[in-house]
């Protein structure tokens, strides 16, 4: 289906002969922001739209206050759902829900004897998240069985992954691909390095005149480290989950939001909660930075085919020059020693998981006592294969294929060229690939220090780097940037040497006291002081 420049999806659908989004399709939009949920919100029918996260729902409810939309998420009760369903003020009911909130709609409708499966159209937005998020958010797949029970329904995304659920085939789902009839590729700069923090700081320095920098980084610990490195006070803002908000606030950080809210600051951090679906409409054209730090956490890995496309698609305002943002940059390190499994290896691994599960299921059936049953049940729950099962014991296909998807994305970060090729093969980006920025200083050293348990262990590792003697200037710079509280170790090393620091057991109080005494002694015998003494007090030498 063709889409022309400046055209909304609803017009393209009508030109292709569809009054609304048709049923039993995977709608592949190709481009974020062309208006799929907007089309369904305005469709003349009752709708249930399943969105991946709360900020998306709150944003759309606030944006369309005149349409009487209803959002369902944590804190919204079945009673409130029933009140909305009974309210006759809206001709067409429009309910937006998280996957976890869907059961409340189902229960409320059941109590009111409303058949939502016949009366409502169900749209599952950003459907790739079923594959991507199920590993750490198993409840995201809860509504899938009910989804296939709707008479009319569709999956939708600009970046859909393959859906392997058996009912996709039984119900003859087909992919409806939107094909833009205009140049839509976006410019992206891919920066690969082994010195993640310094390269990032240099990038931010180059953007010092930017009015708004939006940094997408799926690590609250990593965000905390950047804020510390930049010595930021109040010119930053972080958007993350409520749990991460609490963590950051306990560390003393301010300007932390779990819902998107303007105004933005100069530096703005977004975790994965904001990678897709959320509409960011701001008055200032931003510079966008995507971060992957494998030394910080593997879950900072970004999929060029899905997340990178979705991230740049969050910015909806088109400025006078026809652009949504100034620059788009992905900074990443890489790991040649990543152990990436092939599809064949995963096939064998999952097959073995299945055999282990089947063996214990047989043991359970043959158990001859309650104690034996309990023992087998305990072991069953510990099996990896149990993570692939729904509550009714059926296979959760999304959990299974999450493993294949994870290995696919990890494979791009095993070699620099692999990531470059992946970006190019998305056919969405014009890739500017800078030569790898490889430096002596390895980011792994910084992370080893940062992950040390306790101050003494941290200072021990700092001292070991200084004792090494090679490229000591680089290490001094790193310690000054990232471990300011331990900078006294460098001063003590220069003044007394390593043995003295070890003798004082790395005690900050003792070492700083010794440094102060040493500095005082230096001042007592410095040249200006000695000269002043000699001019004030003549020496007692008798002249002939």
What's the 3-state SS for 185-215? CEEEEEEEECCHHHHHHHHHHHCCCCCCEEE
> Distance between CA atoms of 332 and 329, rounded to whole angstroms?
10
C-alpha distance from residue 537 to each of 498, 526, 534 (Å): 40, 17, 5
Query: Which pLDDT value is given to residue 41?
Result: 96
| Half-sphere exposure at residue 538, Cβ-oriented, CA atoms within 13 angstroms | 4
Residue with tokens 């009752």: 46
Model confidence pLDDT, tens digit, residues 351-392: 999 999 999 999 999 999 999 999 999 999 999 999 999 988
* Cα gap 514→520, rounded to integer Å: 10
- In whole angstroms, give the CA distance from residue 1 to residue 7: 13
pLDDT, tens digit, 9 for 90 and up, residues 140-173: 999 999 999 999 999 999 999 999 999 999 999 9
CA distance 42 to 57: 15
pLDDT tens-digit readout, 66-109: 889 999 999 999 999 999 999 988 889 999 999 999 999 999 99
Please state at what angle helix 487-495 crosses helix 472-482, rounded to 10 degrees. Answer: 140
């Amino acid at each position: 289906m063709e889409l022309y420049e400046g055209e909304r999806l609803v017009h393209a659908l009508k030109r292709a002969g569809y009054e609304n989004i048709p049923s039993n399709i995977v709608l592949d939009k190709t481009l974020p922001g062309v208006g799929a949920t907007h089309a369904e919100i305005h469709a003349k029918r009752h709708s249930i739209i399943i969105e991946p996260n709360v900020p998306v729902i709150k944003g759309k409810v606030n944006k369309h206050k005149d349409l009487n939309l209803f959002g369902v998420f944590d804190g919204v009760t079945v009673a409130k759902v029933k009140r909305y369903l009974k309210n006759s003020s809206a001709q067409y009911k429009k309910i937006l829900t998280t996957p976890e909130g869907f059961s409340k709609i189902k229960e409320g409708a059941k109590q009111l004897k409303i058949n939502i499966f016949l009366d409502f159209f169900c749209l599952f937005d950003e459907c790739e998240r079923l594959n991507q998020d199920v590993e750490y958010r198993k409840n995201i797949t809860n509504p899938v069985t009910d989804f296939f029970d709707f008479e009319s329904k569709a999956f939708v995304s600009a970046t859909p992954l393959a859906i392997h659920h058996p009912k996709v085939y039984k119900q003859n789902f087909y992919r409806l691909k939107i094909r833009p009839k205009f140049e839509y590729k976006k410019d992206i700069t891919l920066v690969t390095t082994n010195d993640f923090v310094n390269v990032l700081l240099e990038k931010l320095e180059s953007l010092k005149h930017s009015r708004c920098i939006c940094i997408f980084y799926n690590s609250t610990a990593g965000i905390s480290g950047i804020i510390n490195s930049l010595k930021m006070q109040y010119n930053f803002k972080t958007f993350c989950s409520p749990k991460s908000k609490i963590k950051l606030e306990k560390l003393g950080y301010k300007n932390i939001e779990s819902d998107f809210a303007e105004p933005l600051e100069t530096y703005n951090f977004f975790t994965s909660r904001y990678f897709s679906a959320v509409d960011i409409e701001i008055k200032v054209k931003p510079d966008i930075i995507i971060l992957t730090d494998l030394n910080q956490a593997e879950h900072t890995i970004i999929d060029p085919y899905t997340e990178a496309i979705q991230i740049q698609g969050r910015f909806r305002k088109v400025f006078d020059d026809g652009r949504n943002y100034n620059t788009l940059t992905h900074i990443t390190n890489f790991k040649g020693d990543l152990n990436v499994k092939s599809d064949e290896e995963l096939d064998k691994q999952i097959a073995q998981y299945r055999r282990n599960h089947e063996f214990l299921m047989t043991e359970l059936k043959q158990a001859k006592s309650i104690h034996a049953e309990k023992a087998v049940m305990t072991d069953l729950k510990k099996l990896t294969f149990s993570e692939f099962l729904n509550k009714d014991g059926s296979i959760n296909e999304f959990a299974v294929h999450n493993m294949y998807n994870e290995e696919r994305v990890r494979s791009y970060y095993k070699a620099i060229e692999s990531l470059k090729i992946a970006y190019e093969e998305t056919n969405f980006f014009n890739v500017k690939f800078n030569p790898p920025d490889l430096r002596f200083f390895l980011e792994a050293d910084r992370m080893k220090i940062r992950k040390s348990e306790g101050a003494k262990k941290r200072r021990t590792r700092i001292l070991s780097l200084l004792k090494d003697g090679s490229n000591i200037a680089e290490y001094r710079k790193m310690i000054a940037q990232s471990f300011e509280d331990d900078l006294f170790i460098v001063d003590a090393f220069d003044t007394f040497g390593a043995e003295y620091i070890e003798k004082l057991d790395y005690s900050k109080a003792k070492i700083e006291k010794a440094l102060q005494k040493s500095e005082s002694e230096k001042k007592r015998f410095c040249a200006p002081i000695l000269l002043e003494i000699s001019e004030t007090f003549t020496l007692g030498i008798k002249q002939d």
